[in-house]
Chains A and B, each alone.
Chain A
């Protein structure tokens, strides 16, 4: 047997005397860890697959639209747009499924596995925690709604028969309408999804609740619509449609005629009030659920 020639060093413990951030850095760290978890980064491929699949589906219409425009750019036929910028906002149910999948995943395990007790032993408050989760999920929803729109815009601009500059000039309003409408959608989905997910520690219950609340409200609105003599105002119970009303107000300045709420005067104001109420109640619920760390 050969004699051991290596030396084992007990490095002991080294105190840390480097820089330390404050509340802002802690919130940013929580946002980053939430983003990693939501996208499955540093997790198994199974945990990456669904989020990226759903987000990939969101981008398909943009890619198809640009592809068609590219292929037909020299064709004498009228160009075909399979989707408009307005129609793209809230178009895909993939985003909704993404929220139902990810919002529970970034909140429920922290509570179920009692990881919150370690988080709140740091210089971070319940409000910080809730806002970091909201920022991360809202940011993701914004990015994955906004980027395909930009792909669509830049692609259309580059393949435009009349030149890129003409396209840019004709569609300049889109450059503010899209981010505003997408931000309103992202805030709505993130706030509602996280609020519902914060009410339970079980992911499956939370995900089902998110989809259930939205679909049930839509169904109730449908029943009310079918009943005789109901006011168009009852359409606001369909909370699934509220971000679409906001989208129309941003792009058109009024509700689209396809929505029954547009039949009444003040329908737009009512839609805004309902949107604000849902977001407000969601945020209040979310903050209330993590208030205990402030006690």
Chain B
């Protein structure tokens, strides 16, 4: 990974308003190099954040930096470090993938011969075979997504901005795209993956930034967020109902999970002590007490309504 000194992305009080609508509201965060998931529902501000990173729109207030380059002061300098794969269709259908990717490589400053060489290499990498020489109008959705990824890679960016890269793909295509995104980290390219599919992020991203209605919900490593899911699973015998009631009497929220275990929301070690005491008081055989690995969906749903 080509890790930059300091954070790869830095936003300080980043705000963007369109009239009365606030698309981003005082976003402040540092994000390290790596594979980063940018998650949020539609309208959360993901696309606006991308446009701000690309210097295609100016912030109403605040600042944003890409690899140490202030985007407002030097948008072209920031774009030179970025590769961008939009969600929407954006390919000229009467040209071949080879021509499109090579042309975009040249527009990014590569000499013509290097651009064609790089186009060939990245099209190989994304798995576009001989069809690369045919007009794009005959491509499937998966091939078009691969072409879009190839053009984003052609100039060897420091950071790839991927906007919903698995949109419209069948399950195999989705897995294949996520596998490619995972491999990019090994090639030294950081990735900012914007999506509302939290499974995708959980599968490939090391760091997660969650947005809700333009506000930062949470930013942290995927592992930390999942471990902080704050739910422990308690497995006893068939008296789970008694345990749930006992925990409720001691002020803990407990429910019976689909596997029959009791899932208890805990805030700290003291709550774990309470669980132990209740199990002992009820003279229950304790089979298992473990932190339940949650999902990013749960983290998002729990935190989205209470922005930090």
Q: Which residues of A contact B (CB under 8 A)?
A: 11-16, 18-23, 25-26, 29-30, 32-33, 42-43, 47, 109-110, 113-115, 117-125, 292-293, 295
Contact = CB atoms under 8 A, between A and B. Distances in A.
B92 interface: yes
B151 to A, nearest CB: 6
A16 to B, nearest CB: 4
B286 to A, nearest CB: 49
A22 B109 contact: yes
A118 B151 contact: yes
B114 A118 contact: no
A123 B56 contact: no
Interface of B: 2, 54, 56-58, 76-77, 79-80, 82-84, 86, 88-95, 99, 103-104, 106-112, 114-115, 118, 121-122, 124-125, 151, 153, 155-156, 183-184, 187-189
A18 B105 CA distance: 13
A11 B86 contact: no
Contact of B77 (A14, A121, A123): A123
B76, B89, B112, B124 — which one has the most chain A CB atoms within 10 A of its CB? B76
Contacts of A125: 76
Contact of A121 (B84, B91, B111, B183): B84
B2, B56, B86, B114 — which one has the most chain A CB atoms within 10 A of its CB? B56
A32, A120, A122, A293 — which one has the most chain B CB atoms within 10 A of its CB? A122
Contacts of B104: 118-119, 122
B103 A29 contact: yes
B106 to A, nearest CB: 4
A121 B121 contact: no
B110 A20 contact: yes
B56 A20 contact: no
A263 B105 CA distance: 56
A21 B111 contact: yes
A103 B188 CA distance: 41
A21 B187 CA distance: 23
B57 A21 contact: no
Nearest to B153: A13
Contacts of A26: 106-109
Nearest to A13: B187
A92 B158 CA distance: 51
Contact of A15 (B83, B95, B183, B187): B187
A121 B184 CA distance: 20
A293 B75 CA distance: 10
Contacts of B187: 12-13, 15
A267 B79 CA distance: 50
B90 A113 contact: yes
A44 B94 CA distance: 9
Contact of A114 (B2, B88, B115): B88
Contacts of A119: 104, 107
A108 to B, nearest CB: 11
Given A15-B188, A43-B94, A117-B90, A295 B58 contact: yes
Given A13-B125, A42-B99, A109-B94, A18 B111 contact: yes
A11 B123 CA distance: 12
B86 A19 contact: no
Contacts of B108: 20, 26, 122-123
B90 A123 contact: no
A113 B184 CA distance: 28
Contacts of A120: 54, 56
A124 B99 CA distance: 19
A44 to B, nearest CB: 8
A115 B58 CA distance: 21
Contacts of B153: 13
A47 B95 CA distance: 12
A12, A29, A109, A121 — which one has the most chain B CB atoms within 10 A of its CB? A121
A123 B156 contact: no
A120 B156 CA distance: 17
A119 B111 CA distance: 16
